[in-house]
Structure formats: C-alpha cells, structure tokens
Structure 1
Amino acid sequence: MRCTIVLEFDEGDGTVAKRVEVMRFHRVDRSQASGDVGLSLAEGNSLLNCVQQEFVVEQLDRYCVSQRACKVCGALHRVHDGHCSELKTTLGKVFYCLDRWKACKCGADGSRYVSPLKNYLQEPSTGELRWLHAELGATMPYRQAKQVMDLLLPTSGRDSHVTIRNHTMAVGKSLQHAQPVRRWCEEIKPIAELGIDVGYVRRARSNGKGAGKDNRAGAGRSSSSIDVVVAALGQTGRQPRVWASAIPRTKRLQEEMTKFLEDSGYDDPNDVCVVTDGDLDLAGVADDLPFDTEWVLDWAHIGRMLRHVDQAITPLAYGWLTANGSAFELWDLFVRLRSFVWTGQTVRWQKLGKELCRLLELRERLDLNSSREAKQARCKLIDLISYLNSHLESLIDYRTRQRVGLRIATGFVESSINRIVGRRMCKSQHMRWSRAGANSVVQVRVALLNQEFHELAQRQFPWIGQRRVSWPWQRPSRAF
C-alpha cells in the first residue's frame, strides 16, 4: 500500500493555483506486524514538519507578492539579493528565502533597500512556540521540557534547554505588567480577604559585580536565598486569585500589590483584611497599601504554638500545687487560656498566662524529678505569651469570625506557595535561581494558576489556539 499526501493551494474559488506533493507512506501488506496500524509518531512528526515547510513558504511568497508594488507610484521593486533564513515553529524548524529589494526610484521608501519581511517576522521563532516553551518551562525543569518537546513535536535537533529558559524569562517579563483579562469581583464587593506569606528558593552562585548589591537588596533569610512574596485574594470556598513577586521589598513591590488589588476589583474605599503569621517582614509589605487594612493573626500559627505547650504540660498535668486547686490544675488553666485566646478575651488569657507561669515555676522548685520538664514547659509558655503580646492588635474573636464563614488562617496562601514555588523551584529540585529568572518563572506559574495564561497569549497573538479550517478536523473516512 502507498499513500501520497498532496497539498493544494487555491484562492478560495475552487481553482487550484499550486499543487505540491509532500510525502509518501509505504506499507507492505504481507510484512505487517500485529498492531502495526496507522502512522507512527516519527512519521507524524515528519509529515507535520513537511506540511509546515510548504505552508510557510507559500504564505511568505504570497505576502511578498502583495508588498512588491510601491505604495506611492505602484512600480515593482527590483530584487537586489536574498539569502536563506530559518524560522522556529511549534511544528519544527522551516526555511525560507529572505529577499531584499532595491528602493523605488520615487523615493517613497526612504532607504536604499527594502526588506518586505522585516516587520512581518520580527523574531526568529513564532509567538506560539515562545508561549509553549514558557508554559512547559514553568511547569517542569528546562531540560525535561526539552525532552518532552523532542518526544511529541517535530524538531531540528539544534534546539537546547537554554532556548526554553530564555523564552520563559521573556514571557514572564511580559506577564508581570499585563492587564488582567477579566474583573474578579462584581459590583457589590465583599471585604477583601488578603493572605500574605513568603517562600524561599536557593540563590544561584554569582561572582559578578552586581551580586553583592542584589544580595543586599533582597530581604530573605540569608544572602543564599531569594524570598518570593505570595498573596492570595478571595472568599472562603472559592478559588483565590494569586499574585507573586521575587523582586526586593521596595516601594515598587507595594505598587504592584496595590495594582493587584485594583485589577481584582478593589479600589481605595474598600476594606482589606490581611491574614498573616505576624512576621515583621510581612508587616511592611501591606502597611503602605492605600486601603483600610485590618490585620488578623494566623490562627494556624497560634494553634501550633499552643499544641507545643500542650505537649509539654500534659506529663505535668496531675498534681496539687495550691490549696484551692484540683488534681489537674495545670491542665485546667491551660484549657481555659486556650479558650480565651480562641474567643479573643485578651485580659483574661493574660491573667491566666501569668498564673500558669507561676505554677510551673512552683512545680519546678517542688518536684525535683520533673523540674526539667516543668522548665521546658514554662519556657514554651513564655514564648507563646510573648508572641501574643507582640501582636495584640492582630488578635480577634476567631470563633465568631469562623462562624460567619471568614478565613482565620493562611492555609490558602501556603497551598499557593507550594503550587507556585515549592513544586517547581525548591522542593526536591536542587536548583539555584537568579532573581530575574525566579521572578519570570513565578509570573508564568501565577498566570497558569489563575487560568489566565492562554487568554493573555491570545491577547498578544490572536491566532494562537484557533482552528481556521473549512472541514471538521474529526471526520471518519466512511459513514458508520
């Protein structure tokens, strides 16, 4: 059996203007192996690349013919020279003739020579390929993305993971300042619940002159890490809209977060409830926002510290310490303290905290067998009380807030950090990043998480994702 693939180009009226034989497939019926049906992946890639080659050449030839005449006098430009050039597409690398014409004698061109494809093909690769590289490069390591491209799509064999990295960085920079494709809030806007947290990635080693300046500008844990600020905005029970940035915490970061809130539908008069773990670095991120900001301390962080105190007091729970106390006086006081913190009764938990510290100190002196455990429990309790006292303005009635359906923890932000930063940039990856590279990858992953990536790509290149065909692309060879 032999199958011949032929391309026919026409003007839309049914008359064939050009007919090109692209490829022939051969099958020997007697030597067919079991299951050898249809085209293989290698044959399909070769066919796609051949069709793309002929289609691009014909399309560029027709465009050059339409631009050949002078726009002023109508005279045809004379060909001066030309050379072979290449264009990278999603269906492989294609080659075309890049001509250069002599300028028209009327002087309308304003130069000696004219290149008709100079403004038509401004990049050596198509926009669809660059955005595909960015999507794969932000989803998986660059070398792995290169292997996936080679496995599924035609390739020239000369591409490398560096190309995917460069395209990812370029697309990430364009996404950082792109306008959102849609408004996220209706006319009646609830109070904005904004969660802020920070993720860290390892910084790439650099001996350049700008390395020390970049390290001083970043406010991360140390000079060997880059901090990525992540913010999530949305109501309980709905997918939040995410924003992230790896730039240093300067005024520019405040402006971008303000723009994120405005693009999400929240203007100056709206209230913003910021949920955070109380980190001093995070306090400076949202203090300068032009909104009426209400701070809420993350209950998950408080609950974790309460659990540590609980684990330390549990072995010491049994025993009389005062005449009016019960056999489980330490445990009873701690349960009441935890309840008062949960309901936002500051004066009462402060009083119980002092009493509990006094009893633990008394237990440390009286019971020599458990003095070490009592000291450890007292130290953990002091840490908890100091943490709560340093964030009194952020403590609220968590029970009431939870009952009305509002957020009391930053779990939705931490999950966003894991999806944006952790899975790609630090956890089990053993990778190091520059600040520019980390910020670009973060922007692409945020666009993918917000389900805006393909819409932003179509805004810049409207033909991406379109099927401009006349016949259905799923049509059986016969009626069944």
Structure 2
Amino acid sequence: MRCTIVLEFDNGDGGETKRVELMRFHSPIEEPTRGDVGLSLAEGKSLLNCVQQAFVVEQIDRFCATRRACLRCGVQRRLHDNHCSELKTTLGKVFYCRERWKACSCGADPSRYISPLKNWLTEASTGELRWLHAQLGATMPYRQAKVVIDLLLPSSGRDNHVTIRNHTVAIGKSINNAEPVYRWCETTKPDVELGIDVGYVRRAHCNRKGSGKQNRAEVGNGSASITVIVAALSEAGKQPRVWASAMPRTKRLNQEMIRFLESSGCGDPNEVVVLTDGARDLAGVAKDLPYDTEWILDWAHIGRLLRRVDQAIAPLAYGRLTENGSAFELWDLFVRFRHYVWVGDTEAWQKFAARLAHLLDLREQRDQVMSVEVRRGLYALFNVVDYLKSNIESLIDYRTWQHVGRRIATGFVESSINRIVGRRMSKGQHMRWSRAGAHSVVQLRVALLNQEFDELARRQFPWIGERRVTWPWRRTSRGF
C-alpha cells in the first residue's frame, strides 16, 4: 500500500491552489508484521518536519511577496542578494531563503537595502521552542529534557543541554520581570496567612578569572549553598499562591515581595499574618513590608519539641513523687503543661514547666539508676522552654485560632519548598547552581506551581497553544 501526502495552499477565496507533494509512505499488506498498524513514531516525525518545511517556505514567500512592491510608487524592488538560513522549531529544523532588496529609486525607503524578515524572524529559534525548553528544563534535568525532546519530536538541529539551559535562564528572567498575572483586588480579601521559609541548593564553583579567592571565602564563611526564600500566601483549605527568590536579601527582594502581596490582593490596611518557625534571620524579609505584620510561631515546630519531651518522660511517668500526686503524676503534669502551651496561657505553662523540672529532680533523687533518662528529659524540657521564651511574643491561642479556620503551621510553605527546590534542585540531584541559574529555574517552577506559566507565555507569544484549523479537526469530534 502506498500513501502520498500532498499539501494544498490557497487564499481561502476559491482562487488558484498550489499543490506540493511532500512524501510517500509504503506499508506491506501481503505479509504484514504483527502489530504494525499506522505510522511509526519515526515516520510521524519525518512527516511533521516535511510539513513544517513546506509550510514555512510558502509562508515566508507570500509574506515577502506582499511587501516587495513600494508603497509610494508600486514598483517592485530589485533583488540585491539572498542566502539560506535555518530556523529551529518545535517540529524540527527548517531552511528558508532570506532575501535583501535594493531600495526603491523613488526615495520612499529609509535605508539603502531592505530586509523584509528583519523584524519578523529575529531569533534562530521560535518562541514556542524556547518556551518548551524552559518548561521541560524547569521540570527535569537539562540532559534528561533533551532526551525527551529527541524521543518525541523531530530534531531541531545541533541543540544540546546547554541550549535548553540558556533558554530556561532567559525565559526565567522574562517571567521575573513580567507584570503579575493577578490584578490589584479592590474588594477586601479574606484573612490569609503569609508563610516564609528557606531552602538551600549547592553553589557551583565559579571558574571565572580572579574569582577563586572570593569563592573560597564564601565557602569558608559557610555560604557554599544558595539560600532560596519561599513565601506562600493562602487561607486555610485552599491552594496557596507561591513566591520565591534565590537573590541576596537586598531592598529589591522586599520590593518584589511587596509586588507579590499586592498582586495577590493584600493591600493596605489589610493585616498580614506571618507564620514562621522562629528563625530570626527571616524577620528582615518581612519587617520592611508596608503592612501591620503579626508574627505567629509555627505550631509544628513546637509540637516536635513537645514530642521529644513526651518520649523522654514516658519511661519515667509511672510513680507517685509527692504526697497528693497520682500514680502518673509526671505524665499528668506534662499533659497540663502542653495544654497551656496550646491555649497560649503564658503564665500557666511557665509555672507548670518549673513544677515539671522539680518533679524530674525528685525522680532522679529517688532512683539513681534512671539518672540518664531523667537528664535526657530535663534537656528536652529546657530546650522547649527556651524556644518558647525566645519567641514568647509570637505565641497565640492555637486552639481558638484553629477553630476559626486559620492556619497554625507552615506545612504549606515547606511543601512548596519541596516542590520548587527539593525535587528539581537539591534532593537526589547531584548538581551545583549559579545564583542566576537557580533564580531563573525557581521563577519557572513557581509559575508552573501557580498555574500562571501558560498565561505568561501567551503574553509574549499570543499564538502559542492556538489551533488555527478547521477540517478535519471538527470532523474528529464525531463519536465512533
């Protein structure tokens, strides 16, 4: 069986039609191979590349033909020279003729020579290919992205993982400088929480001349990693909107966070509630925000510290230590201490923490064999008490806060860090990053996580993702 693929070009007005024979397929019918039905992937890639080649050549020829005549006198401009150029597309590399014309003798042209494709085809690759490279480069390692593209699409030339990396960095920079997708909201937004946390990626060794001393100094100062600040804004039960940056903590970083909050609808005088794990180095990120910020200590970190106290007290819980105490006096006192921390009663939990430390001392005096376990319990208790006292201004009534539907932990931020940083840039990935490369990949992954990547792509290239087809696209909607 033979199948001939023919393209027909017309103007849609029933006029003259141009036919171009592309290729022929041969399929054995007499003795077919088991399961050999339809076109193979290699044949489909060849067909797509041939269609793209013929379509690009015809499109460029018609584009140039409509612009060759002078707008003032109507005379056809004479050809000065031409050369063969290549264009890399998502459907393979194509070749076309790039012409230059001599200016019209009437003086209407501003220059001596006219290049009709100068402002139309400005890059060696199409915007759709660059955005595809950026999307795959942000999702998987560059070499793996190159393998996937070569497996499913026709070859676009001499592209390699470096090309994908360069396109990813360039698109990441354009997304970082683009206007936010969401507009300023005039209505009052519901109460939301702003969670801030950090992730780390390994810094690449700088090979530029004269930078070895600076690189060694950064490593010696403990800055062998790049800090990625991630902020997530959300109300309880809804998908958070994420912002991230791998740039240094400068005034520009605060300006970008303000723009993120404004585009999310948090405007003055709305109060911004900041959830944090108590790391004071993050306070500088939000202290310059033009909002009334309220810092809340993350309950998840408090819960983990209390869990360690619980595990240390468990072997010591049985036994009456005072005259009026129960058989599980130590455990009962710890439960009350944990309850008052949960409801935010500062005076009560401090009093019960002191009584709990006194009971542990009594337990050690009565049973010297358990002295190691008692000291372990005291260490865990003092650890959580010091943590609470150092962040006492950020403690709230977590029970009431949770009952009204507000967030009390930064788990939504930590999961965002895992999605943005961990899966692509640090966990299980033996790679190092420059600050610019890490920042660009972070911007792309944030856009993908916020489901804003497609809209940002259409802002720069409005035709990306459009289907400019009629038949047989409409006929395929019929059921079988």
- Calculate the TM-score normalised by the size of structure 2: 0.95
C-alpha displacement of 1:184 = 8.5
Matches within 5 A, 1:68-467: 68-156=68-156, 158-183=158-183, 187-208=187-208, 209=210, 222-467=222-467
Moved more, 104-113 or 469-478: 469-478
Give 1:154's aligned amino acid: P
The 8 Å contact of residues 8 and 16 in structure 1, kept in 2 or not, is answered as no
Q: Distance in 2 between matches of 1:278 and 1:344?
A: 16
Q: Determine if contact 1:201/1:426 at 8 Å carries over to the other structure.
A: yes
Q: CA deviation at 1:478?
A: 11
Counterpart residue number, 2:19: 19
- Post-superposition CA distance 1:184-216 (Å, at most 9, x none): 967231123111111111111224345766898
Distance 2:270 2:214 in 1: 37
CA distance in 2, matches of 1:19, 1:217: 65
CA distance in 2, matches of 1:312, 1:357: 13
Residue 357 of structure 1 deviates from its aligned partner by 2.0
The 1:133–1:273 alpha-carbon spacing in structure 2 relative to 1, beyond 3 Å, is same
Name stretches of at least 5 consecutive residues in structure 1 with no aligned partner: none
* 1:20-63 deviation digits (Å, cap 9, x = unpaired): 10011112211311221111111010000000001001111111
Question: Residue 26 and residue 476 in structure 1: after superposition, are their counterparts in 2 closer, same or farther (change >3 A)?
Answer: farther
CA gap of 1:107–1:423, structure 2 versus 1, over 3 A, is same
How far the C-alpha of 1:90 sits from its partner, in A, is 0.5
Q: What are the within-5 Å matches in structure 2 for residues 18-37 of structure 1? A: 18-37=18-37
Deviation track 1:273-317 (CA, whole Å, cap 9, x = no partner) reads 111111112111111111111111100000000001111111111
Contact 1:217 1:248 in 2 (8 A): no
* Number of aligned positions between the proteins: 479
CA distance in 2 between counterparts of 1:197 and 1:59 reads 51
Q: Deviations over 1:248-281 (max 9, x none)?
A: 1111111111100001111121111111111112
Structure 1 residues 285 and 213: CA distance shift in structure 2, 3 A: farther
Against the structure 1 CA distance between its residues 405 and 93, is the aligned structure 2 distance closer, same or farther, given a 3 Å change threshold? same
Q: Is the 8 A contact 2:91 2:156 kept in 1?
A: no
Mapped to 2, the partners of 1:479 and 1:391 lie a distance apart of 64
Task: Answer with 98-107 or 434-443: which moved more.
Answer: 98-107
Secondary structure class of the residue paired with 1:82: strand
Name the CA shift for 1:244/1:215 in 2 (closer, same or farther; >3 Å): farther
CA offset digits 1:206-243 (Å, max 9, x no partner):
2434576689899x993221111111111111111111
Q: CA distance change for structure 1 residues 210 and 265 in 2, over 3 Å: closer, same or farther?
A: farther
Report deviation, 1:395: 0.3
Does the residue aligned with 2:430 lie in a helix, a strand or coil?
Answer: coil
Alpha-carbon distance in 1 for matches of 2:22, 2:406: 63
Q: Is the 8 A contact 1:249 1:285 kept in 2?
A: yes
Equivalent in the alignment of 2:39: 39
The separation in 2 between residues aligned to 1:325 and 1:431, in whole angstroms, is: 58
Name the aligned partner's letter for residue 429 of structure 1. Q
- Match of 1:16, SS state, is coil
Q: Secondary structure at the match of 1:439?
A: helix
Deviation, structure 1 residue 110:
3.4
- Structure 1: distance between partners of 2:50 and 2:321: 88
The SS at the match of 2:265 is: coil
Mapped to 2, the partners of 1:215 and 1:298 lie a distance apart of: 36
Shift of 1:371: 1.1
Say if 1:115 and 1:212 are closer, same or farther in 2 by CA, change over 3 A.
farther
Q: Secondary structure at the match of 1:369?
A: helix
Tell me, in whole angstroms, the C-alpha distance in 2 between the residues paired with 1:28 and 1:477.
Answer: 30
Separation in 1, partners of 2:107, 2:75:
12
Change (3 A) 1:242 1:371: same
Name the aligned partner's letter for residue 233 of structure 1: L
Q: Is the 8 A contact 2:194 2:231 kept in 1?
A: yes
By how many angstroms is 1:447 displaced? 0.7
Instruction: Provide, for residues 82-103 of structure 1, a one-character-per-residue CA deviation record: whole Å limited to 9, x for no partner.
Output: 1111101010000111112223
Task: Report deviation, 1:157.
Answer: 5.0
Q: CA deviation at 1:417?
A: 0.9
Higher mean Cα deviation, 348-357 or 42-51?
348-357
Change over 3 Å in CA distance of 1:82–1:414 after alignment to 2: same
The CA distance in 1 between the partners of 2:335 and 2:28, in whole Å, is: 82
Identity across matched positions, percent: 70
> For the residues of structure 2 that align with 1:214 and 1:297, how far apart are their CA atoms?
36
Give the SS at the match of 1:248.
coil
Give distance in 1, aligned partners of 2:183 and 2:334.
47
**2: distance between equivalents of 1:393 and 1:221?**
31
Q: Specify whether residues 263 and 406 from structure 1 end up closer, same or farther in structure 2 by C-alpha distance, changes over 3 A only.
A: same
d(CA) in 2 for partners of 1:217, 1:115: 50
Work out whether residues 308 and 380 of structure 1, in 8 Å CA contact, stay in contact via their aligned partners in 2: yes
Give, in angstroms, the shift of residue 474 of structure 1.
5.8
Superposition TM-score, scaled by structure 1 size: 0.95
Q: Deviations over 1:438-457 (max 9, x none)?
A: 11111111111111111111
Distance 2:73 2:273 in 1: 66
Displacement of 1:320 in angstroms is 3.4
- SS of match in other structure, 2:118: coil
* Residues 180, 260 of structure 2: 8 Å contact kept: no
